[in-house]
Amino acid sequence: MDFASLEREALALSATERARLARDLLASLETLSHPEVDALWLAEASARAQDLDSGKVEGIPADAVFREAETLFR
């Protein structure tokens, strides 16, 4: 089963089932070694950098992020 199919099936679950699945998936990551975690973070950072470089996503200036955060958490 490919990721897109798995994702569609997971999103079709009830809220309770999705929460249970999310909890179990997150718990499964806690058993990873430090090198495995580092590799996952590197892959995520690389994918995000590629998205920025390709124009798929647009960066948000830090000052705008901080202003929005201040507004949300007042």
- What is the structure's pLDDT at 1? 84
What confidence tens digit (pLDDT) does each residue in 13-50 have?
999 999 999 999 999 988 989 999 999 999 999 999 99
For residue 24, give the nearest of 9, 38, 10, 34 by alpha carbon. 10
Is pTM beyond 0.75 here?
no
Number of Cβ atoms within 10 Å of the Cβ of 42: 10
SS (H, E, C) the chain: CCHHHHHHHHHCCCHHHHHHHHHHHHHHHCCCCHHHHHHHHHHHHHHHHHHHHHCCCCCCCHHHHHHHHHHHCC
What confidence tens digit (pLDDT) does each residue in 48-70 have?
999 999 999 999 999 999 999 99
